[in-house]
Amino acid sequence: MPNNSIKITDTTLRDGQQSILATRLRTEDIIEIAKDMKNIPFYSMEVWGGATFDSATRFLAEDPWERLKLLKEILPNTPLMMLLRGKSLVGYKSYNNEIIDSFIKESAKTGIDIFRVFDALNDEENLKQAAKAVKAENKHLQMTICYSATENTGLDGPIYNLEYYETKAKRFQEMGADSICIKDMAGIISPYDIFKLVSSLKKLIDIPIQFHTHSTSGLGPLSVIKAIEANVDIVDTCLSPLSLRTSQPPIEPLLITLKNSERDPNLNLDEFIRASEKLKSILPKYSDLVSNSNNSILDSTVLKHQIPGGMYSNLLSQLKESDSLDKLEEVLNEIPNTRKDMGYPPLVTPISQIVGSQAVSNVIFGKYKIISEQMQNYILGEYGKPPSPINPDIIEMVTPKSKNDPSDEGLENAKNSISEISKNIQDVLTYALFPNTGMKFLRIKYGLDQVPENMKLYKSVTTDTAEKLQSKSEINIKENIITINNNLQNLSPDSKTYNIYINDESFQVTVDPTTNDNSSSTKTNNIVETKTKNMEIESTQENNIVKSPLPGILSKYLVVEGQDIKKGDPLLVIEAMKMENTIPSPKDGIIKVLPLEPGNLIARGDTLLTIE
């Protein structure tokens, strides 16, 4: 092996699936893929953190702690890495030091060896406690610089420039970092800019430098090569079936590119091909998650909106849930405007989620008609100092709030809240991080509630079934026949894919709404076409029933029955698109009925309350 061999981190089981499959890959499939990767001598494998924790409990009814435990059992000799959002951990708000310390301790004990720690604003104050906790567990602390730009400025921008990144790298090394990661979450750094940046940092710091990028704009694979030429120590890649698009560059062509060079990683291509074949055999049942909203696998508009890969796939999923996928282009155009109003923060979770959800609200409801709790907290400075001033017109819309009692969000409160369900510290942490969805999951985990049908998706589909879905036009189930049209090239933009469950088997059926033209013999006549309605906060024609403008979870009511309210007063909080959205009153009146309980799932159009 060459002395200067490039080291490889694989991201397939975390960022790869987060970027392409909206983080819906099930543990049973992750384990099968990991088995075929256990003998590959990676520098590390990123398998946890980011959105995987939340998605496991929120969408899949799976325990993320159990997933990590199983992965460590299968990959005992491979360093496992997680992505940690500083004091936001794997959530979307700031947590207190007690929760930060406990979460990192449990993560280290369960299997994490390398903690890639970042802050969405590159604010070292937001990283201090997490860094301290990682060092206390004697684990590898990789501190992360999130790469961003203002408006197509590259390294020459007024905010984000070479001096900015040099200052951050030196400071992170002083804070005890064992390595530095340059995190290009949107895939927007040019090949020559990354060469310049890595070359400069190698002269300033004496710890390893790792490069993480995405392929969204098409720059990612090119930038990886230039980073390697600049003597970067480690790069992130992905197995080819979940690579490119909004994900990482693929590993296989990189191995061929570097073969017999001084940076040759000397890895066996055949092992990657076998692992990729296993992954390809699993992916058909997730095909409805792969976006067909863009005719190209590249998206040059990312150079403008700067949406990171994981955010893009989740944004699509959220718009589908809201029956608003037709508004995608409007949302993408709105994101740069919202980001500018917020002071040009780097678009990485949780800030990317805050910006994206606010842009969705702006498009659907009108400019800043609804401002999420997290957006308000950002404006009030609870996420740190923005890179540039926030639009003062937006600041005026937010009223400073009284501080909550710290004990209300501490570990002791979490322990008390689930004391009748579990005393396990990992369950306590799950609830502490996500009280609404965490409680719902824990009740399912311990048999108090049934698994909802929408949380059974993608589960236990055999490889034979997946192959049938790919290659057969007809599948016989006893005496019934399901006809699946494999010619998807002529589908209209209104087509949708559904998961159908028959005799414990899952089938994906694509339905294309028909026109009223009865002359077409190739269309069925019993499919009802539905059209997207604008989502509004309003009462019905009876003028007393307030209906939900979006799907989500009822977080809490802010009023009580019999209370006098004025138009615009806050009524309740809905957790939707992973943000907490306060719903205002559409009229003056008196609260008559509050029909729901906190934690209830809400569909768009459900009755939230009545006003008289």
Domains of the chain and any CATH numbers: 7-287 (3.20.20.70), 406-455 (no CATH), 460-535 (no CATH), 545-611 (2.40.50.100)
Token reading at 283: 């992916």
Beta pairing class for 44-49 and 80-84:
parallel
Confidence of residue 302 (pLDDT cuts 50, 70, 90): low
The Cα–Cα gap between 510 and 484 comes to 8
Confidence of residue 539 (pLDDT cuts 50, 70, 90): very low
The neighbour count for residue 343, using CB atoms within 10 Å, is: 18
The mean pLDDT value of the chain amounts to: 82
Token look-up 């799932």 returns 601
For residue 214, pLDDT beyond 50 = yes
The Cα–Cα gap between 220 and 217 comes to 7
For residue 153, pLDDT beyond 80 = no
Confidence of residue 457 (pLDDT cuts 50, 70, 90): confident
Confidence of residue 199 (pLDDT cuts 50, 70, 90): very high
Please check whether residue 590 is in contact with residue 564, taking contact to mean a CB–CB distance below 8 angstroms: yes
* Helix H or strand E segment including 501: strand 496-502
pLDDT at 485: 39
Give percent of the chain with pLDDT exceeding 70: 79
For residue 479, pLDDT beyond 60 = no
Tell me the mean pLDDT in the region 30-47.
97
Tell me the mean pLDDT in the region 433-460.
89
The closest alpha carbon to 357, from 544, 31, 581, belongs to 581
The crossing angle, in degrees rounded to 10, of helices 97-110 and 128-136 is: 40
Instruction: Report the amino acid identity of residue 7.
Output: K
Token reading at 137: 């567990």
For residue 577, pLDDT beyond 80 = no
For residue 538, pLDDT beyond 60 = no
The Cα–Cα gap between 202 and 417 comes to 49
For residue 532, pLDDT beyond 70 = no
pLDDT at 511: 57
Confidence of residue 403 (pLDDT cuts 50, 70, 90): low
The neighbour count for residue 327, using CB atoms within 10 Å, is: 18
Please check whether residue 210 is in contact with residue 235, taking contact to mean a CB–CB distance below 8 angstroms: yes
Between residues 331 and 294, the one the model is more confident about = 331
Instruction: Report the amino acid identity of residue 107.
Output: S
Among the ranges given (44-48, 120-124, 399-403), the one the predictor scored with the smallest mean pLDDT = 399-403
Starting from the edge strand earliest in sequence, which strands make up the sheet with 545-547, in order? 545-547, 607-611, 589-593, 564-565
| Cβ-based burial of 28 (10 A; exposed 0-12, middle 13-18, buried ≥19) | middle
For residue 97, pLDDT beyond 70 = yes
Name the 3-class secondary structure at 127.
coil
For residue 516, pLDDT beyond 60 = no
Token reading at 582: 């306060």
The closest alpha carbon to 498, from 529, 454, 466, belongs to 454
Task: Please list, in sequence order, all residues whose beta carbon lies within 8 angstroms of the beta carbon of residue 158, skipping any fewer than 6 positions away.
Answer: 150
Per the DSSP assignment, residues forming a β-bridge with 607 are 547
pLDDT at 549: 79
Confidence of residue 370 (pLDDT cuts 50, 70, 90): confident
For residue 136, pLDDT beyond 70 = yes
pLDDT at 357: 83
The Cα–Cα gap between 355 and 351 comes to 6
Name the 3-class secondary structure at 454.
helix
pLDDT digits (tens, 9 = 90+) for 549-572: 777 788 889 889 899 998 888 888
For residue 330, pLDDT beyond 80 = yes
Task: Please list, in sequence order, all residues whose beta carbon lies within 8 angstroms of the beta carbon of residue 109, skipping any fewer than 6 positions away.
Answer: none
Among the ranges given (222-236, 454-468, 504-518), the one the predictor scored with the smallest mean pLDDT = 504-518
Beta pairing class for 570-576 and 579-584:
antiparallel
Torsion on CA atoms 557, 559, 565, 569, rounded to nearest 10: -40
The closest alpha carbon to 165, from 143, 145, 181, belongs to 145
Q: How distant is the alpha carbon of residue 68 from its chain centre?
A: 18
Give percent of the chain with pLDDT exceeding 90: 48
pLDDT digits (tens, 9 = 90+) for 240-283: 999 988 899 999 999 999 999 999 999 999 999 999 999 999 99
Tell me the mean pLDDT in the region 36-55.
95
pLDDT at 308: 64
Confidence of residue 578 (pLDDT cuts 50, 70, 90): low
The Cα–Cα gap between 550 and 552 comes to 7
The closest alpha carbon to 581, from 553, 612, 543, belongs to 553
DSSP letter, residue 497: E
Confidence of residue 490 (pLDDT cuts 50, 70, 90): very low
Residues 403-442 as b/e (b if ≥16 CB within 10 A, e otherwise) read eeeeeebbbebbbebbeeebeebbbbbbbbbbbbbbbbbb
The neighbour count for residue 170, using CB atoms within 10 Å, is: 14
The Cα–Cα gap between 550 and 578 comes to 12
Confidence of residue 287 (pLDDT cuts 50, 70, 90): confident
